[in-house]
Chains A and B, each alone.
Chain A
Amino acid sequence: MSDRITIELSDVSKFYGEVLGVNRISMSIGPGITSLVGPNGAGKTTLLNLITGLIRPTQGHVTVDGVPLSDVESIFRLLGYCTQYDAFPRGLTGIELVRGVLTVHGLTIREAHDLACEALSTVGLLDAADTRIAAYSKGMRQRVKLAQAIAHRPRVLILDEPLNGLDPMARAEVIALFRSWAAEGRIVVVSSHILHEVDVISDSIILMNHGYVVAEGGIHDVRQEVEEHPYQVLVRCDRPALLASRVFALDHTVEARIHPDARGLLVATKDPTALYRLVNRLAADEGLVIEAVQPADDDVQSLYDYLIGDEGGRS
């Protein structure tokens, strides 16, 4: 066991029959917080399931701390995984779930109980420990899954959309936990489909789309890339010239071109919201007839558009 633990993926692909899960991913993930960001279906869960051995790669291989995933008795001592699946064995209370899994690790019931209490209190769920999970709120279920993932004090924590369903207060608390774990030298991998949610806390970011890693690196590199990338929007309307004259008055417009068929304007802007607002105003005040407003960008741009949107959930 080395001091600095890493997850290594070499040329990993996963196909579900014909459907691509992830394609040819090679990377090394070290201690600290790494965020995996991408829209629905990007392949985040697939990648995390591959890292935790819940599915096997069609090609390539994965090791954690140099140990292959087939060595389950060693690997799952190192690894804790909070999955995206909102499912629990029927009829159990929070403590029963966490304690039960710990006894399967080989701990005595006493030891398991102590560790389970510790984990539940870490996530602020000790008061509800004896309540049935079926009666938990979404946020509590999210937290009991976290407790279950951390209870055996793993050095590698894989968390699939852990902030989902948490209110802002709980988010801040959980994010503080991620930071403290990272500060202890653990690997913390967090997935999200909202870049804003994780960018400030991440030491490193992996952007995924359609099964591919689109951008990877320190937050500054990735963020710069994201911010400098203008959106292209095609506005189909009856008076593109009028729209063009107004569009150039906007701060963030990079470029505006009248469409060859003269029935639309292609705008590159860093602030699409302002553009949409302008278009609406023109339609209302000056009777501009709008046929369609559509993103005209390539894949990466629409990905960015999606990711840095506040809601993150437009598509």
Chain B
Amino acid sequence: MTALPGPGRWRLRLRQLLAVTRLELRRCFRGRRLIGLTLLNLAPVAILLLAYLIPEDELTREATPAGLSQIYAVMFATWMLRVSVFFTSAALSIQLFRTEVLEKTLHYYLLAPVRREVMVAGKFLAASLASSIICGVSAAGAYLALFGWLGRGMGRFFLAGPGSAHLLAYLGVTVLGCFGYGAVFALLGLVWRNPTLSVLALFGWESVLFLLPPVLKAVTVQFYLESLLPHRPPVGPLAILAEPPPPLATIAGMAVFVLAVLALAGWRARRMEISYSTD
């Protein structure tokens, strides 16, 4: 009578993972939250585009690939990573189950024959993919808008120069950032009740990155992400320099971290019960 295939097969779990991810992606791109995130992420692109309204001035005439690359590197590190990626991930990943508890719809998931770990992984994947898409579009848009200053030189920069490779590298770091911060926020959401407070605390922590002694830098996401950028942003006079690990180790380390957080969240989800505030 039961219309479903037998349990316990990995292919089935993979299908379930994709199904949860698909549903959750739709949820991410819905609701008022998205408006704020769009504004946050469009701001740098919009500002760069506005600059075109200003009549040709020194800056645009003397724009060189090297100069613009420096500008983008600073912008990417200070705005994209520290603000856009950070807050977009925060909004989407801080409490993977929060909306559903508030809206009293969690039981639809809990009553499905799906391992709680699969459910958690699907939700995390969706949140991280959604922020990757939003922030990726923003990073790429800003990149194109900025290097548009090269005018006809833009084609050469992208086709013959390092333009495309650098753009890909920035996008890669954006995605890594979204997954990395996504995992950090998912973890914070698990251990800390008040989401706003934990986001602000982390923001403060990551913002003083350049002041931190090397040992403490190892516990910021920013440190690893910046080490992967095509151009390291210039550091202030107060900065304490630390040698970053090789890129591959960084990426592998992040993957391990994400999996560890997912394992913990999955374990917590197995013990989850419905307790909507009584109606």
Q: Which residues of A pack against B, CB within 8 Å?
A: 16, 49, 52-56, 72-81, 83, 85, 87-91, 97, 100-101, 103-108, 115, 148, 152-155, 184, 186
- Name the one of B4, B23, B111, B116 contacting A81, with C-beta atoms under 8 angstroms: B111
Additional pairs, 6, CB under 8 Å, beyond known A55-B274, A90-B31: A52-B111, A56-B273, A103-B23, A104-B114, A105-B16, A105-B113
Instruction: Please count the residue pairs between chain A and chain B whose beta carbons lie under 8 angstroms apart in the complex.
Output: 104
Q: A55-B273, A153-B3, A186-B1 are in contact. Are A104 and B19 (CB under 8 A)?
A: yes
B199 interface contact, C-beta 8 A: no
CB nearest to B3 among chain A residues:
A153
B15 interface contact, C-beta 8 A: yes
- Nearest 6 pairs between A and B by C-beta? A87-B104, A76-B113, A73-B7, A103-B19, A54-B274, A104-B112
Residues 265-277 of chain B, each 1 if its beta carbon lies under 8 Å from chain A, else 0: 0000000011110
Minimum distance in angstroms from B127 CB to a CB of chain A = 16
CB nearest to B27 among chain A residues:
A89
Highest count of chain B CB atoms <10 Å: which of A80, A103, A153: A103
Minimum distance in angstroms from B227 CB to a CB of chain A = 39
Chain A residues with CB under 8 Å of B112's CB are 76, 101, 104-105
B30 interface contact, C-beta 8 A: yes
CB nearest to A148 among chain B residues:
B108
Q: Which residues of B pack against A, CB within 8 Å?
A: 1-5, 7-8, 12-13, 15-16, 19-20, 22-23, 27, 30-31, 100, 103-105, 107-116, 119, 273-276, 279
CA of A89 to CA of B23 in the docked complex: distance in angstroms?
10
Q: A106-B4, A152-B4, A154-B2 are in contact. Are A54 and B107 (CB under 8 A)?
A: yes
Q: A76-B111, A89-B108, A103-B19 are in contact. Are A184 and B273 (CB under 8 A)?
A: no
CB nearest to A52 among chain B residues:
B111
CA of A81 to CA of B111 in the docked complex: distance in angstroms?
7
Tell whether, in the assembled complex, residue B114 and residue A73 are in contact, meaning their CB atoms are under 8 Å apart: yes
CA of A148 to CA of B108 in the docked complex: distance in angstroms?
9
Chain A residues with CB under 8 Å of B31's CB are 90
Q: A87-B103, A89-B105, A104-B114 are in contact. Are A184 and B4 (CB under 8 A)?
A: no
Minimum distance in angstroms from B2 CB to a CB of chain A = 5
